[in-house]
Amino acid sequence: MKTIRIGTRGSKLALAQAEIVISLMKNIKADLDIEIQEIHTTGDRLVDVSLDEIGGKGLFVKDIEMHLLKGDIDVAVHSLKDMPTEIPEGLDLAAFVKRDDPRDMLFTGGNYTLYSLPKDARIGTSSLRRKYQLKSERPDIDIVNVRGNVTTRLDKVDKELDGVILAAAGIKRLGLKPGVPLEIDTVIPAPGQGVIAIETRNNDEYMQALVKGIDHGATRLCSETERTFPRALGADCNFPVAAHAFIVGGDIILHGMIGDIDRPYLMVKKTIRGRDTSLGRVLAEKLLVELEKS
């Protein structure tokens, strides 16, 4: 039997996510022979530079996609929130793993909430999405750019920073102690946050059929709705944009936020309800009008 080669980043979180996918694949076909191939991406190598300056989170994805297109690997495993809204020709997002907790979490030395943090607290994040929303709730706090893996960022708490913001899903997958969750109506997550995406070549019928059994329909529908929002705005992963969708009674509820890059920390939020993924485009149009009026 052919060995299935799964490509992923080499971080502990990326490897944990790859192991989740392997477990799910073996639930479908127990005798699969699967190996992980670690790919060190441009984003991983340039750790001392802001993502704003080097092209955004897509740098964590492009190198892996290149190996997939070349046939060096058979499957790519990504954090969906790191993926650009347009994927290369010849590739397909073949499966979306059931979503974990989509929220962000605040980690401090004193178990503070966002509202009980000391005045002028220094909080680490490199995400413009988080910066705009945090500043809306706490204009006094000092937002500090911080990059690196989860452990590196946590280690900065109480040394260089009063706190850091991290995605809840990654903390859970690493088996770490959770922080204080930031509710979705306070800090809307990134499109696709909490979702592991499985990418294949679109002409690889065997792999597409295999991972189809992993695909979670509600997660796919919500994720595609969320990704339609920044796509309609022409925004990349490193723009102040947030979107989160969930399903209630057959309807999709979509929360969205956009920030004005030329007027720091000015942003608008809105929630709308609909039936299909075009909801993301509708919300984008509404929020652009509101932002222009602000």
Helix, strand, coil shares, percent, the chain, to 5: 35, 25, 40
> Which residue is associated with the tokens 């920390």?
265
Out of 44, 63, 74, 82, the active site residue is 82
CATH architecture assigned to 230-293: 2-Layer Sandwich (3.30)
Q: Where are the domains of the chain?
A: 4-100+195-215, 104-182, 230-293
Other C-beta atoms lying within 10 Å of the C-beta of residue 144: 17
CATH architecture assigned to 4-100+195-215: 3-Layer(aba) Sandwich (3.40)
132 and 238 in contact (C-beta within 8 Å)? no
Give the C-alpha separation, 294 to 283, whole Å. 16
Lowest mean pLDDT among 39-53, 176-190, 204-218, 273-287: 39-53
pLDDT in the model for residue 48: 55
Average pLDDT score over residue span 108-123? 95
Is residue 170's pLDDT more than 70? yes
21 and 177 in contact (C-beta within 8 Å)? no
Residue type (1 letter), 51: L
pTM over 0.85: yes
Nearest to 245 by CA among 217, 281, 267, 271: 271
Average pLDDT score over residue span 34-39? 97
Using the CB atoms, write b or e for 246-258: b if 16+ within 10 Å: beeeeebbbbbbb
Q: Which CATH class is domain 104-182?
A: alpha beta
- CB-facing half-sphere around the CA of 66: CA atoms within 13 A: 10
Q: How confident is the model at residue 294 (pLDDT cuts 50, 70, 90)?
A: confident
Question: 83-99: per-residue pLDDT in tens?
Answer: 999 999 999 999 999 99
Token readout for 292 is 């222009």
Q: Which residue spans within the chain are E strands per DSSP? A: 4-8, 34-38, 75-79, 91-96, 104-108, 122-124, 142-144, 163-167, 180-182, 196-201, 241-248, 251-259, 267-274
Active site residue 120: no
Equal fold, 4-100+195-215 vs 230-293: no
User: Among the residues of 6-50, which ranges form H helices?
Assistant: 12-28, 42-45
